[in-house]
Copies of this chain bind each other. A is one copy, B any other.
């Protein structure tokens, strides 16, 4: 494409607000790896982009796994012996361990406590817990509340269902000039948790919307999938086509105040790795680069040895390294428009780099071409300063031997990709370069 429209960067603040509004809209929904919460979430995202919803039946084999039963929940509570709802699903869907089997029973405190999860280190926060693959039930409470539970009898109710149904995921495809694809993936299985991962969900939706308005060199595929089982299901159903994926990012935890973090793909030096690292190096603010590890989000599946796709993970503070992670404190105040906008801008810069990271051939490779006669070089010589734009042109000419992409030129020269791209545009216009194809 000619360019990702960076003039819109002045609109970044607006985009940050819009992303945050979408998060707020999705926040109340009780999502899990299957069920109506995911459907409701995808329906709301459709107001941003026309994604396609896929339903995969329970029992479908996906590699070593099986699509589980569908889980839905309508209500849940713990009542004390006065009949008061002291714990109420309607106040926070985090109160129920995700995938809890239905239960309706009276029990004493001792028995109840075997099903109660708390965070003693953060006594006011409710933890987030799941039990997808073992039939079980439980409640998550603030530690303070758990200490107040008296010795009486409690009525415990989880009005859930776990039965054959479907795993639901969303997919949106943007066709570009080439069949080669960029994959952007996020997990949609977490209930009322904002940074992990409504921030990623909303960011991917708005990136998709933005890209849909631009001419594109690559085709783009956006996945809104439940974690682990969702990526496995998608990979299983698209196994024959994954080789079209040339670059990919898993997006999660992109709205907190921490610095940007990039976790490399398993390959470690794929173009996506180098592109993100270049962008972060020249962006404002601190950042962190992590080596690949097989623990994290869905990059675990995309980077499994049988696929080994060039997919990295873009975040702010890594999962598990902020106290609010997987607790009720990961709420609408924890993610902020300015950080969402910053993440959006950096992702867009990465995609812009990929779109423009071409290889050129210097058409006058013997000696330097005479830039001055083309108006590309200062007329009075002798002063000790060189303009950055001239230096960038000299670098592009020197390395455009067919073995260096523009990113190679940028990295070797120590100059920002944008400067190198502008220089290559000027040289192209002067006929001093042509693109190396194929």
A131: nearest residue on chain B (CB-CB)? Answer: B380
Please measure, in the bound complex, the distance between the C-alpha atom of A391 and the C-alpha atom of B369, giving whole angstroms.
52
- A365 cross-chain contacts in B, Cβ below 8 A: 304-306
Inter-chain contacts of A397 with B (CB < 8 A): 294, 304-305
Please tell me if A34 contacts chain B, counting CB pairs below 8 Å: no
Cβ–Cβ contact A382 & B305, under 8 A: no
**Copies of this chain present:** 3
A369→B397 CA distance, assembly (Å):
49
Which of A40-48, A141-149, A216-224, A231-239 is found at the contact surface with chain B?
A231-239
Q: Is the interface of A mostly helix, strand, loop or mixed?
A: loop
Q: Which residues of A, 365-411, contact B by the 8 Å Cβ criterion? A: 365-370, 372-373, 379-386, 391, 394-395, 397-401
Q: Which residue of B lies closest to A298 (CB)?
A: B367
> Within the complex, what minimum Cβ distance (angstroms) separates A196 from chain B?
10
Interface residues on A, range: 35 or more
Partner of A131, one of B131, B239, B307, B379: B379
* A399 partner residues in chain B, CB cutoff 8 A: 305
Q: With A129-B380, A394-B295 known to touch, is A232 a contact of B367 (CB < 8 Å)?
A: yes
- Is A326 at the interface (CB under 8 A from chain B)? yes
Docked Cα-Cα span, A303 to B413, in Å, equals: 15
| Contact residues in B for A384 (Cβ distance below 8 Å) | 319-320, 325-326
The answer on a CB contact under 8 Å between B413 and A293 is: yes
Q: Which of A127, A369, A380, A397 has the most CB of B within 10 A?
A: A380
Assembly CA distance A353 to B228 (angstroms): 33
Say how far A428's CB is from chain B's closest CB, in angstroms.
16
Stretch touching chain B among A102-110, A132-140, A339-347: A132-140
Q: Is A301 close to B, CB under 8 A? A: yes
List residues of chain B with CB within 8 A of the CB of A128.
382
Q: Flag if B398 contacts A367 (CB, 8 Å).
A: no
- Please, what's the 1-or-0 string for A21-64, where 1 marks a CB less than 8 Å from any CB in chain B? 00000000000000000000000000000000000000000111
Contact A134 B379 (CB under 8 A): yes
A319 — which chain B residues lie within 8 A by C-beta?
Answer: 384
Residue numbers of A with Cβ under 8 A of B are 62-65, 97-98, 117, 127-134, 136, 138, 228, 231-232, 235-236, 239, 266, 293-295, 300-301, 303-308, 319-320, 325-326, 362, 364-370, 372-373, 379-386, 391, 394-395, 397-401, 413
